[in-house]
Amino acid sequence: MALPDSIEWARAQDQADPLASLRRQFALPRGSDGQPLLYLCGHSLGLAPIAARAAVDAEIEDWERLAVLGHEQARHPWIGYAEQLQPQLAQLSGALPVEVVAMNSLSVNLHLLLASFYRPTPARSAIMIEAGAFSSDRHVVAAQIAWHGLDPERELIELAPRPGEWLLRSEDIEQRIMASGRGLALVLWPGVQYSTGQYFDLPRIIRAAHAAGACVGLDLAHAIGNVPLSLHDDGADFAAWCSYKYLNGGPGAIGGAFIHQRHLQRTDLPRLAGWWGHEAATRLQMRPEFNAAAGASGWAVSNPPVFSSAPLRASLPLFAQAGMPALRHKSLALTSYLESLLLELASAELAIVTPPEPAYRGSQLSVRVRAGAQRGRQVFASLGRRGLVCDWREPDIIRLAPVPLYNGFQDVLRAARQLAAAAHEPR
Ligand SMILES: Cc1ncc(COP(=O)(O)O)c(C=O)c1O
């Protein structure tokens, strides 16, 4: 049933929304007229929490005040800065605190984790990803294969949707993993696909990969802070994410990684070690031998970038305050509202790519302009002129994300009307 294309209805939903006040905790970007822009782009860069500035300022003040002594004496001692983020990252990823670590950025973390988990043998050497994976993920796996002296053309399996379809079906993923069988070393899969917004059935993919004898790693760039995750119970071997999208950590914010508990004590896993992965108690003895820290922290290499971690101190507590179940509930409601309006207002012009089943999507809807990519670019350019911030992904996708922390039903209504109006503009 279509939801009302009515500002009164949308306003009433916002008034009844128990999470509505969280919006005030974020800075909305403004247009040249000084008015707040309509921002549906948290799948690319999350908004700045108002408290982020104070969090960064506190570290700069402590640097000015304490210099090197800040490692121990800062209000949030820098020496253990990454560890202070562990409980909240564990909560968001459904992991034990010991299984997560804040470090580096996403592609770097994928490399570090693949250095441990991609150990090709003559019998088992292939990596499976989705066709159309985010470019960096493909570069990472192809480079890893080549790093081992193997040929990415032979060893990289890229799973495409059925002809004429743009989403991957769970049963096809499962079947292809099983069919790859003994040659498959590793599956690298996204939690939520960056372009289509498809939220995959992760437990099913993980089970299939393990049944085939392969390791499974997850790219959670578009999943963490967006959809509920239970990495520990689902049993993925490892995962990595960035923090600048739904986690609102700011541009280039420190990324994160998960390594399942069952791997944490293994001594047979090689790792690209550095001093920050050494156990904290003896790290500064500067001894030549490497004793890994217990837990995922043992995969850290360098000391953490404090200024690109500090905004997370402002943003992660907001997730705890709201609660992931409530955020998911609102996310589903906002996304369904956007879908309903687009179907009502512009279904002749626009096709929604993202799955219609709420269980298979997060906050994002990806839209194609039926008349083709050239017309799609025009529509997208018009959205920019209209003050709607969303984004374009080649070859022909407009992505919009109503983010439950700071978007409301009125935003969704205004965005849908703008998109419909742009799609109806004369060519
Ligand atoms: C799915 C996915 N993988 C990898 C990356 C690359 O991230 P980074 O530049 O932090 O390595 C991104 C960035 O947006 C992404 O969305």
Please identify which residue in the block is written with the tokens 């292809």.
176
Residue 38, judged by CB atoms within 10 A of its CB (0-12, 13-18, 19+), counts as buried
Q: Whose CA is nearest to atom 8 of ligand 1?
A: 106
**Residue 30: which pLDDT band, with cuts at 50, 70 and 90?**
very high
Residue 181 pLDDT: 76
**What's residue 91's pLDDT?**
98
Q: Which atom of ligand 1 is nearest the CA belonging to 242? A: 10
For the segment 399-427, what is each residue's pLDDT rounded down to a tens digit? 999 999 999 999 999 999 999 999 999 88
Q: Is 319 helix (H, G, I), strand (E, B) or coil?
A: helix
pLDDT at residue 182, as a whole number? 83
**Mean pLDDT value of segment 168-196:** 95
Nearest to 220 by CA among 321, 113, 311, 125: 113
Closest of 230, 161, 160, 154 to residue 185, by C-alpha: 154
Q: What is the pLDDT of residues 304-350, one digit of tens each?
A: 999 999 999 999 999 999 999 999 999 999 999 999 999 999 999 99
pLDDT of residue 15: 98
Model confidence pLDDT, tens digit, residues 353-386: 999 999 999 999 999 999 999 999 999 999 999 9
pTM value is 0.97
Residue 1 has pLDDT above 90, yes or no: no
Ligand 1 pocket member 219 (CB < 6 A): yes
In this predicted structure, the answer to whether residue 246 has a pLDDT above a threshold of 80 is yes
DSSP structure class, residue 199: B
The finding on whether 44 has its CB within 6 A of some atom of ligand 1 is no
Tokens of 388: 């709607």
Atom of ligand 1 nearest to the CA of 110: 11
* Ligand 1 centroid to residue 243 C-alpha, Å: 10
Atom of ligand 1 nearest to the CA of 136: 4
Neighbours of 141 (CB within 10 A): 25
SS3 category, 333: helix
Please tell me the distance between residue 240's alpha carbon and the centre of ligand 1 in angstroms. Answer: 10
Q: Tell me the backbone φ, ψ of residue 381, rounded to 5 degrees.
A: -65, -40
Q: By C-alpha distance, which of 194, 195, 201 is closest to 220?
A: 194
DSSP 41: B
Eight-state DSSP code of residue 4: P
The total of other beta-carbon atoms located within 10 Å of residue 105's CB is: 20
Atom of ligand 1 nearest to the CA of 245: 14
